[in-house]
Each structure stands twice: as structure tokens, then as C-alpha cells.
């Protein structure tokens, strides 16, 4: 359909959203609207073919009509009044999108990236390691996680639980690759952004644990002046005082924190909240904002008889005291109660501290343990005994000191609120475990009070007049879960103090979001918009098998042997070698959607705030993988059955290689007679690709060449907006024949990666033949000649351009002189540019004097 942007005679007048505009009689509403600056969304609309109104996203209100009208098929009329954006219209469009997403069996970001609490660009940093660039990998990691070396050693690896490589063999060692990248790039320049100019704003961070340090890191990069206050003698919080040396060497922690101090962040230790400073005192000192990252430093009581006996320790106190050199006398037998990471740390540390027998009591089965299987296996290898389906019911003591733990066998019942099956006591199954020391590792909670050691009295850190609310049940700080802002606008909080005891990477993720919100707050921006920008969607992932390019088993992390490490504080995991790291990184399937930045469905989903799949229904069948055809990739899981590909194949091109099959809810797109595309009448022109709104059809030749969607390169981190890396677009004319079709060359890294055509092109209206769309691969082909060759004694040898041109000139002059100008003919390659073709015919006619000129595209 030809566009008519200018006003011509015979136009009619109508009103769109209160503005009077002109349009041509019979024009579709969507054409008239877009030509006059109104954007009506659509997923199936394409001006090159008849409108099919399949997606219904273009619905509008027309005065006098009882129902909403599809703007792509309804014609305009004189005096028509149209509204394109009302609450009712948006509600209907959102419902349509939700229904479309319910059958969109694909993802916008990889499952691993979505599962990661910090949403690291995992394919990006893993891919950089595969290419041997650890520094770039580390910079990608640090865009969202300042501590790759630390977290690479202690993360519970939720990303690996959903790694799609595991559908073929084993998950990629994502976390260990992160550690490798950080270790390999250590000491180099790995800041993710340039530090911004000083803003003149001062921020106080209370707590030098993972949350406080991450918050300070990103705020410092944004140009703010940071002071971190820590109650203990050194920075690190749980990283230093809660994770043993054999898992996280203190030297590694100190080296990684050095980057923070190089940013100018000031650290003040032995500064206790409630004793040495308060929120009020910090604000009175001139700090413009305060971040609370005080962690969860109080152990949860067992709430059983006898836990007041000497020798019963909360795990957080036990690990901290050991680090400070003030650990308790171990005795021969130690009992650890719990099944998380801290329980495993306490058990393994007890062996290293001299205990002869360590028993872990866990009330569920191995499958329900919060600790990672690697930690559990390592503990058992070192000699820790784990009793499953056992719960303590009392602690016995003699002379005021613990002597044993009374236990009861359990069995699993119905799931509880955590989703795990609830342990149920087995009556008459009580037994006793001897113990010289009992460590309680059943959870931690924020310590929201300051204890005066001289008087023994406890003082609340956040009294009623502090402006900080405390959760009645969880006894944690109440803060916005996205921005971290508390009821007191200048005060933000994140990490374990807000969520309760969680993982390091969860604390870092919350602290980073809070830093972005604090930056907006300090700049006077509206945090409602910030909150919307920081809210991340939760997609649904289905089992979409993808064949690996690298057939290799998961690389095994080298470790100290169990006997050697059981009594040693040396680091257990030794790290990947260069070769192992690159081979493991190459196992990644790179589950990225190349059209993420241009997918119209994703763009509308973001605009209409589709954050989850509200509907579940029958998914369209996904055919098995087919043998690749030359230029078009089909990914059925992304198809929303809009019909645009079938329409353009039929109406514009003609071969009807793609069709709408079946009817009703079973309608789906398939090749004619369900054949492979290569066996149909397809001429591989790519028109179907140009019409597809989701990437269900894609240019195979461009896949792997396009820059993958990344966070925009900025001087400071900002709320997320997915954009592609810069791609230069150049408009030109196709050189393959004389029709004169307009082309748009997409160039990245000085290489043509794709060819498209604008629908407004006056000759071809966006249509291209197979040569026009796909005939660009020769430009960067490794076999392409880039140096002239001259035949000497029967051999082609490289020569300079001056030598080549001189030889051609001499031979042309010789032939013309001996045989006349008509003895010379000029034949131009279809891969010459139009400018080249012009010069060829000019040389023939004006210099040689012949009209013997032809072009290969004519044949």
C-alpha cells in the first residue's frame, strides 16, 4: 500500500485524539494516524499487504461505534472522531498481550541471567572468557557485582540450577568461571564505568558487609562522597567474619576491596551504631543520605530446653569469634544443628579447630538442604557425619555445661510455606547424641539493638521517633523492596537487615538497586519512576532443547584432597587453569535472543507492563529441529501466529511457502504441506523475516554477527534500558540489477551484518530479492581479494595498485592500438557499487571509445 504523507486534493478531515488531521478517502485509520504523528501499536500490520487484523493490538475508539475498531482494517471517513489511547483501549491491549505471551514459548533474557539475583550478563562474561579476555569478562560482571572473586567462591549458584546446557549433559560452571575471570584480571583496570564528576553530595553507609560495600561502590562511581562505618575492626562483615578462610581467603577479600578504597571511599572501623553514631547524628553532620547495611548478626534461638547451657553457641558468634582468634574450647564432640551454608561452615571449621567428631543434625532430607550439594559432599569427605530427618528437642548438661542433645526422628509431611515438605515427628523415636559443644545454625536475624557492656542494658537502634519501621514478625527493617527507601526519605536499607539472612549476591543486588535509587533521590528525581525502571520482569521458561556446539564434559574444579584439607585452613578449591576455563566457557549455549532489542512484542510488553504470564494454556507444538536452510532461521517457540509471514509470502512474493495451518486454537504457522522450508517453493527472499515482529523468523546469515543487546555504555550506571550496541546504518541503492531498489546497510565493527529496506522506498517499498537481502557476505569473506595480483611467468603474485593499474593501462592501450576500440569489451560484476559501474562505462566510452559494455546482473 502506497503511503501519502502530503496533503493532496480530495482529502477528508477527521479528528484523532482531539486534533484535526487530513487523510485520503479509503485510507486505513492506522495509516492516517501514523502519517500525522500518532503511533497506534500493532504486531501484524505491514503496509505491503492487505491488513489481516490478526493481533488486534491496533484497536481504537470511533465515535458512534459500540465496539472498539481495528485501525489496520477500518477505513477513515470524513468527520470521523477517533481516540487512540484511553483506559479501556489500554486495558484491552494489555489483555491481548497477556494472551499472546501465554503462547510465546521463549525468553527475552537467558534463564541463568534471570535466576541470578543480580541479573548478571552471564552469557556476556562467560563468552568473554571463552574468547580469552578475562578483563572484559570482569568488567561485564562488575556492572552489577563488584566482587567477582569473592562471590565466585561463595555463591550458591542459582544460575546453574536453570542452565539449559543441563538438558544435554551438565550445567556450565558459571560461578567458577566468574571466579576465574576475577582472579585472572586481578590488579588490572576493571572498573565497569568511568567515575562521574563529584556531585558534592555526601552519603554515610552503616555496615561494611556485602550490602554496605556494594552500595558504596556504585554510589562512588556516580560521583558521591562515601564514608563507611563498621562496628568491627575490619571491613567485610559476613565475608570476613562469617565465611571460613578455606572457602574465602582473607587475602582475596582484601585485594578485591582495594578497588573500593581506590575510589576514595573512606572507612571508619570500630564505629558502633547506637554507641558511636545514630541516624540523626549522621544527618546532623551533613550527610545527605544514609544507607543501612547492618546485616543479620543475631542467631535465632532453638527454643528448646537447655539451650542456656555453657557450650551452646549461635553459628554467627562461633564463626566470628574463631576469625577474631577468640574461638571456644572445642572438646572432642561437636553437634551442629541446621542444614544451610553456615551449618556446613561451622561443621568443617570445627574439624579444623581440633574436634574429633562432628555431627550435623538436619530435620529434613538431603534434597531439602539449603546448602549447595558441593558443600555437603565436601563436608562428608572431610569426616563430618550428617543425620537426616532428625530434630533436637532438648539439650542436656552437667555442672552447667552442655553434655548431649536429645533428638527425635522425623518424617516428611505436606509442604509448608517455603514449598518444602514439613517434617513431622515420629513418636517413640527419641535418642541422644553426646556433645561437648553445640552450634545452632538454624538462621539469623538483624540485631536491632545496641547492648551496653557496662550496664548490660539493650537500647533500640530505631526507636519509634526514628522514622524507621520494624517488621512486627520478622524484626527486620521495613524498606521498599525495589528502591530500598524507608519511611524516612533520606534513609535507605538493603541486604539481610531487610530480607533476613540470605545470600551474598542477594544482598549485593538489593544494595545496587538502592544505590541507583539514592542517586535519583540525591538529584531530586521522582522515585516513582525509578521504582518502575528498576522493577524487573519474571518471564516463564519452558524446556526448549538446544544442541551444543562444544561436545565436552563439565570441567572439574581441582581441589585439595580430603585428608589434607580436613585439618588445614588452606583454600579447598584451587581454581581453573586458563585452558580449563576457556573450554568450560565454550560449553555455554549462549541462550540469548538476538532480536531482544528490536522485538516488537517485547517493546509492547514493557510499555504495557506485562511482568508475568497470567494465563496458562495449551502451547502450540514446537516442531523438531530441521536441517538449516541457507539463509532463514525458524524458531517456532517465538511465534505468536500473527500471520504476517504467510501474508507477505502469498501477496507480495507469491510462492506461498509459509501458511497458516489448522483452525481455531490449533492454528499455527508451518511450511506448505509441513515440509522443510528448503523443499518448498521458497526463493529465500527474506520478506517473511522482515515482517516477523518477534524473531520467530530471522536472517541466519546475520545471526552471530549482530552485537548482542547490552547495557548502554555510560559514565555511571543507570536504571536498565536494553539497547543494542551502536550499529551504523547507511542507505544506498542495490547494485545487482537496474531496478534501483533502496537498501539499508547495517554496519557494526566495520562489517556489514545485515541488509534491510525501508517500506517508504519509492521503488521497492521495502521489498528485496534474495541477492539484495543476502548478497553481502562477500564483503567480509576471508577469501576476498584485498590486494591486486599480477601474473608473472604464469604465477599470480601480489603487487601494488600502481603496478596493477599500470599493467591494465598498458594492455588496454596495446589491444586498442593493434585491433581497434571494438576489440575491447567491459563486463561489470554485480558486486561492484553503482559508482564503480558508472566509472566502468565512462572508461569504456570516453577513454577506449567502445560501447561494448555489459553487466552480469542482466544475465
Of 26-35, 204-213, 528-537, 648-657, the one with minimum mean pLDDT is: 528-537
Strand duo 668-671 + 658-661: pairing: antiparallel
Provide the domain count of the chain: 7
Phi, psi at 839, each rounded to 5°: -70, -35
Residue 832, pLDDT above cutoff 80: no
Tell me what the mean pLDDT of segment 33-61 comes to: 86
Residue 716, pLDDT above cutoff 60: no
What is the per-residue pLDDT for 726?
Answer: 66
Phi, psi at 331, each rounded to 5°: 75, -170
Residue entry with cell 567474619: 241
What is the per-residue pLDDT for 49?
Answer: 78
Q: What is the pLDDT of residues 57-71, one digit of tens each?
A: 999 999 999 999 999
Residue entry with cell 527507601: 485
User: Does residue 490 sit within a domain?
Assistant: yes
Q: What is the pLDDT of residues 761-801, one digit of tens each?
A: 678 888 888 888 888 877 777 788 888 999 888 899 999 99
Q: H helices then E strands: how many in the chain?
A: 26, 34
User: Does residue 622 sit within a domain?
Assistant: yes
Residues 6+ apart with CB under 8 A from 143: 121, 192, 193, 711, 717
DSSP class per residue in 421-482? EEEEE-TT--EEEE-SEEEE-S-EE---EEE-TTT--EEESS-GGGS--B-TTT--B---TT
**Whether residue 622 is found in the same domain as residue 657:** yes
User: Does residue 540 sit within a domain?
Assistant: no
What is the per-residue pLDDT for 537?
Answer: 52
User: Cα separation of 514 and 534, whole Å?
Assistant: 10
Residue 455, pLDDT above cutoff 90: no
What is the per-residue pLDDT for 343?
Answer: 93
Between 419 and 185, the more confident residue is: 185
Residue entry with cell 581440633: 354
Is 810:818 a contact under the CB 8 Å cutoff?
no
With bands split at pLDDT 50, 70 and 90, how would you rate the model's confidence at 7? very low
Q: What is the pLDDT of residues 114-132, one digit of tens each?
A: 889 998 989 889 999 999 9
**Whether residue 287 is found in the same domain as residue 305:** no
User: Does residue 95 sit within a domain?
Assistant: no
**Whether residue 319 is found in the same domain as residue 367:** yes
Q: Which CATH number goes with the domain that contains 45?
A: 3.10.20.740
Category of 267 on φ-ψ map: left (φ > 0), alpha (ψ -120 to 50) or beta: beta
User: Does residue 388 sit within a domain?
Assistant: yes
What is the per-residue pLDDT for 63?
Answer: 93
Is 423:391 a contact under the CB 8 Å cutoff?
yes
Residue 712, pLDDT above cutoff 50: no
**Whether residue 759 is found in the same domain as residue 834:** no
Q: What is the pLDDT of residues 319-342, one digit of tens each?
A: 999 988 888 888 899 999 999 889
Give the alpha-carbon dihedral of 592, 595, 596, 597, to 10 degrees: 130
**Whether residue 126 is found in the same domain as residue 149:** yes
Phi, psi at 365, each rounded to 5°: -95, 175
**Whether residue 762 is found in the same domain as residue 661:** no
Is 447:470 a contact under the CB 8 Å cutoff?
no
Domain that holds residue 293: 202-297+448-498
**Whether residue 67 is found in the same domain as residue 141:** no
What average pLDDT is seen over the chain? 85
Residue 365, pLDDT above cutoff 80: yes
Q: Which CATH number goes with the domain that contains 738?
A: 2.20.25.90
Q: Residue 661's beta-bridge partner residues? A: 668
**Whether residue 39 is found in the same domain as residue 79:** yes
Is 149:156 a contact under the CB 8 Å cutoff?
no
Residue 705, pLDDT above cutoff 90: no
pTM of the entire predicted model: 0.74
Tell me what the mean pLDDT of segment 154-178 comes to: 90
User: Does residue 93 sit within a domain?
Assistant: no
Percent of the chain with pLDDT over 90: 44
Is 696:595 a contact under the CB 8 Å cutoff?
no
Q: What is the pLDDT of residues 194-210, one digit of tens each?
A: 899 999 999 999 999 99
**Whether residue 136 is found in the same domain as residue 268:** no
User: Does residue 513 sit within a domain?
Assistant: no
Final residue belonging to a domain, choices 780, 804, 834 = 780
User: Cα separation of 511 and 526, whole Å?
Assistant: 19
Final residue belonging to a domain, choices 643, 673, 702 = 702
Residues 6+ apart with CB under 8 A from 65: none
Residue 624, pLDDT above cutoff 80: no
Q: What is the pLDDT of residues 224-277, one digit of tens each?
A: 999 999 999 999 999 999 899 989 999 999 999 999 999 999 999 999 998 899
Residue entry with cell 495451518: 661
User: Cα separation of 523 and 515, whole Å?
Assistant: 12
Q: Which CATH number goes with the domain that contains 565?
A: 1.10.1060.10
**Whether residue 417 is found in the same domain as residue 350:** yes
Q: Which of 517, 532, 719 is nearest to 607 (CA)?
A: 532
Final residue belonging to a domain, choices 51, 85, 119 = 85
Q: Residue 335's beta-bridge partner residues? A: 359, 438
Between 788 and 674, the more confident residue is: 788
**Whether residue 309 is found in the same domain as residue 323:** yes
**Whether residue 388 is found in the same domain as residue 418:** yes
| Dihedral angle sign, alpha carbons of residues 106, 112, 117, 121 | negative
Q: What is the pLDDT of residues 460-519, one digit of tens each?
A: 888 888 889 998 888 899 999 889 999 999 999 999 999 988 899 999 999 999 999 999
Q: What is the pLDDT of residues 281-310, one digit of tens each?
A: 999 999 999 999 999 888 888 899 998 999
Q: Which of 703, 694, 688 is nearest to 598 (CA)?
A: 694
User: Does residue 592 sit within a domain?
Assistant: no
Amino acid at each position: 500500500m502506497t503511503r501519502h504523507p502530503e496533503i493532496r486534493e480530495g482529502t477528508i478531515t477527521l479528528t484523532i485524539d482531539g486534533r484535526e488531521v487530513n487523510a485520503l478517502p479509503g485510507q486505513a485509520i492506522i495509516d492516517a494516524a501514523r502519517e500525522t504523528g500518532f503511533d497506534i501499536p500493532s504486531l501484524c500490520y505491514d503496509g505491503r499487504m492487505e491488513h489481516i487484523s490478526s493481533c488486534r493490538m491496533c484497536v481504537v475508539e470511533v465515535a458512534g461505534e459500540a465496539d472498539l475498531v481495528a485501525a489496520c482494517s477500518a477505513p477513515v471517513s470524513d468527520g470521523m472522531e477517533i481516540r487512540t489511547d484511553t483506559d479501556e483501549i489500554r486495558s484491552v491491549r494489555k489483555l491481548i498481550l497477556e494472551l499472546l505471551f501465554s503462547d510465546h514459548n521463549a525468553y527475552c533474557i537467558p534463564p541463568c541471567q534471570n535466576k541470578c539475583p543480580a541479573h548478571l550478563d552471564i552469557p556476556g562474561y562467560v563468552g568473554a572468557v571463552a574468547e580469552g579476555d578475562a578483563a572484559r569478562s570482569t568488567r561485564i560482571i562488575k556492572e552489577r557485582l563488584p566482587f567477582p572473586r569473592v562471590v565466585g567462591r561463595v555463591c550458591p549458584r542459582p544460575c546453574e540450577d536453570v542452565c539449559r546446557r543441563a538438558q544435554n549433559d551438565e550445567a556450565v560452571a558459571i560461578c567458577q568461571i566468574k571466579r576465574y575471570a576475577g582472579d585472572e584480571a586481578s590488579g588490572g583496570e576493571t572498573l565497569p564505568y568511568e567515575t562521574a564528576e563529584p556531585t558534592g553530595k555526601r552519603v554515610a553507609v552503616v555496615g561494611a558487609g556485602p550490602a554496605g560495600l556494594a552500595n558504596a561502590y556504585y554510589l562512588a562511581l556516580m560521583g558521591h562522597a562515601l564514608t563507611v562505618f563498621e562496628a568491627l575492626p575490619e571491613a567485610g562483615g559476613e565475608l570476613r567474619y562469617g565465611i571460613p578462610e578455606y572457602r574465602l581467603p582473607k587475602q582475596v577479600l582484601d585485594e578485591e576491596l582495594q578497588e573500593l578504597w581506590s575510589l576514595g571511599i573512606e572507612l571508619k572501623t570500630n564505629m558502633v551504631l547506637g554507641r558511636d553514631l545514630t541516624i540523626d547524628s549522621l544527618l546532623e553532620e551533613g550527610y545527605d543520605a544514609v544507607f543501612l547495611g547492618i546485616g543479620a548478626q543475631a542467631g535465632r534461638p532453638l527454643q528448646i530446653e537447655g539451650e542456656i547451657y555453657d557450650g551452646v553457641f549461635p553459628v554467627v558468634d562461633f564463626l566470628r569469634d574463631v576469625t577474631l582468634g577468640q574461638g571456644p574450647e572445642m572438646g572432642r564432640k561437636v553437634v551442629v544443628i541446621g542444614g544451610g551454608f553456615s551449618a556446613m561452615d561451622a561443621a568443617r571449621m570445627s574439624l579444623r579447630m581440633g574436634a574429633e567428631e562432628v555431627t550435623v543434625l538436619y530435620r529434613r532430607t538431603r534434597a531439602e538442604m539449603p546448602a549447595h550439594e558441593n558443600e555437603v559432599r565436601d563436608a562428608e569427605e572431610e569426616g563430618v557425619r550428617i543425620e537426616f530427618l532428625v530434630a533436637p528437642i532438648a539439650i542436656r548438661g552437667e555442672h552447667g555445661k552442655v553434655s548431649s542433645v536429645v533428638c527425635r526422628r522425623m518424617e516428611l509431611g505436606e509442604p509448608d510455606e517455603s514449598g518444602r515438605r514439613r517434617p513431622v515427628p515420629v513418636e517413640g523415636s527419641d535418642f541422644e547424641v553426646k556433645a561437648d559443644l553445640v552450634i545452632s545454625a538454624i538462621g539469623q536475624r538483624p540485631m536491632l539493638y545496641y547492648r551496653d557492656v557496662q550496664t548490660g542494658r539493650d537500647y533500640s537502634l530505631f526507636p519509634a521517633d526514628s522514622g524507621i519501621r520494624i517488621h512486627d514478625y520478622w524484626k527486620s527493617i521495613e524498606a521498599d523492596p525495589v528502591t530500598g527507601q524507608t519511611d524516612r526519605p533520606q534513609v535507605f536499607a538493603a541486604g539481610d537487615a531487610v530480607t533476613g539472612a540470605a545470600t551474598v549476591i542477594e544482598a549485593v543486588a538489593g544494595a545496587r538497586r538502592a544505590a541507583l535509587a539514592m542517586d535519583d533521590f540525591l538529584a531530586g528525581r521522582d522515585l516513582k519512576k525509578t521504582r518502575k525502571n528498576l522493577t524487573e520482569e519474571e518471564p516463564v521458561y519452558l524446556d526448549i532443547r538446544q544442541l551444543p556446539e562444544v561436545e565436552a564434559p563439565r570441567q572439574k574444579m581441582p581441589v585439595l584432597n580430603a585428608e589434607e584439607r580436613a585439618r588445614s585452613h588452606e583454600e579447598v578449591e584451587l581454581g581453573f587453569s586458563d585452558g580449563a576455563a576457556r573450554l568450560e566457557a565454550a560449553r555455554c549455549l549462549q541462550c540469548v535472543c538476538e532480536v531482544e532489542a528490536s522485538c516488537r512484542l517485547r517493546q509492547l510488553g514493557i510499555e504495557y507492563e506485562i511482568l508475568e504470564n497470567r494465563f496458562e494454556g495449551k502451547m502450540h507444538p514446537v516442531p523438531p529441529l530441521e536441517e538449516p536452510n541457507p539463509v532463514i532461521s525458524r524458531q517456532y517457540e517465538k511465534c505468536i501466529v500473527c500471520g504476517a509471514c504467510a501474508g507477505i509470502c502469498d501477496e507480495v512474493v507469491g510462492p506461498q511457502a509459509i501458511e497458516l495451518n489448522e483452525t481455531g486454537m490449533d492454528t499455527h504457522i508451518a511450511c506448505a504441506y509441513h515440509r522443510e522450508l528448503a523443499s518448498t517453493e521458497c526463493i529465500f527472499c527474506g520478506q517473511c523475516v522482515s515482517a516477523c515482529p518477534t524473531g520467530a523468523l530471522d536472517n541466519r546469515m546475520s545471526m552471530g554477527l549482530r552485537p548482542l543487546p547490552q547495557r548502554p555504555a555510560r559514565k555511571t550506571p543507570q536504571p536498565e534500558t536494553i539497547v543494542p550496541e551502536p550499529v551504523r546504518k547507511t542507505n544506498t541503492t542495490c547494485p545487482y540489477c537496474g531496478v534501483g531498489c533502496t537498501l539499508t546497510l547495517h554496519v557494526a565493527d566495520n562489517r556489514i551484518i545485515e541488509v534491510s529496506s525501508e517500506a517508504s522506498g519509492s521503488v521497492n517499498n521495502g521489498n528485496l530479492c534474495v541477492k539484495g537481502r543476502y548478497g553481502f557476505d562477500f564483503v567480509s569473506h576471508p577469501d576476498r581479494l584485498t590486494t591486486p595480483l599480477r601474473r608473472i611467468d604464469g604465477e599470480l603474485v601480489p603487487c601494488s595498485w600502481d603496478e596493477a593499474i599500470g599493467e591494465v593501462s598498458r594492455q588496454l592501450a596495446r589491444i586498442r592500438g593493434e585491433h581497434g576500440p571494438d576489440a575491447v569489451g567491459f563486463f561489470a560484476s554485480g558486486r561492484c557499487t553503482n559508482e564503480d559501474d558508472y566509472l566502468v562505462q565512462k572508461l569504456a566510452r570516453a577513454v577506449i571509445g567502445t560501447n561494448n559494455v555489459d553487466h552480469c546482473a542482466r544475465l
